[in-house]
Amino acid sequence: MKVHDLKPAPGSTRAKRRVGRGIGGKGGKTAGRGMKGQAARGSIKPWFEGGQLPITQRVPKQKGFKNPFRVEYVVVNLDTLEGFSGDEVTPETLRAVGLVHKHGLVKVLGRGELTRKVRVKAHAFSKTAEQAITAAGGSVEVLPPPFGHGRPPAKGNALTNR
């Protein structure tokens, strides 16, 4: 079957009603537009919003868009874990040594080699990092985010002006 062979099921589509074709049938004379007024005359511009502030004026003028719900991670690579002393790695132990900023979720990325067995607890892992840790005999545990499994709380300048 090809795209040009596709067609809707029989009886599922109907022809468009042709209005304004004489007084004989449905949609004659005023063609469903009523008697008089702005809507009957076709004088409304397509972008007119009934007098409310138009969308082109409501939208902010700055370029781009900053997602207020973006989840940002502090990254740690495998070569950093290789030089880390201890066999259990958690965000708290990384913060205590100064490898990770005090705020933010921790994500482990797969740059470098891991040759020893390590238990790693973090908020996110790349696939290559997860494979390398388990291949070295270690274990991986994904920690839940502090805001739950829904959407994170919004942040940004738009919230401070309210």
Residue 154: inside a domain: no
Average pLDDT of 10-28?
Answer: 88
Residue 132: name the closest of 94, 74, 86, 76 by CA: 76
Residue 129: inside a domain: yes
Residue 6: inside a domain: no
The maximal CA–CA distance of the chain, rounded, in angstroms, is 90
Using pLDDT thresholds of 50, 70 and 90, give the confidence band for residue 157: low
Which tokens hold the place of 123? 């908020």
Average pLDDT of 56-79?
Answer: 83
Residue 132: inside a domain: yes
Average pLDDT of 100-115?
Answer: 88
Q: How far is it, in rounded angstroms, from Cα 51 to Cα 5?
A: 47
| Strand ranges in 54-118 using DSSP code E only, listed in sequence order | 73-77, 88-89, 105-109
Residue 88: give the domain boundaries.
Answer: 73-142
Residue 67: inside a domain: no
Residue 111: name the closest of 93, 125, 92 by CA: 125
Residue 102, Cα to own-chain centre: how many angstroms? 26
Average pLDDT of 71-100?
Answer: 89
Using pLDDT thresholds of 50, 70 and 90, give the confidence band for residue 149: confident
Residue 25's pLDDT is: 76
Residue 58 identity (one-letter amino acid): R
Tell me the percentage of the chain whose pLDDT exceeds 70.
96
User: Other C-beta atoms within 10 Å of 108: how many?
Assistant: 27
- What is the pTM assigned to this prediction? 0.56
Residue 33 identity (one-letter amino acid): R
Kindly report the CATH number assigned to the domain that includes residue 132: 3.100.10.10
Using pLDDT thresholds of 50, 70 and 90, give the confidence band for residue 160: low
Residue 2's pLDDT is: 94
pLDDT exceeds cutoff 70 at 100: yes
Q: How far is it, in rounded angstroms, from Cα 104 to Cα 81?
A: 18
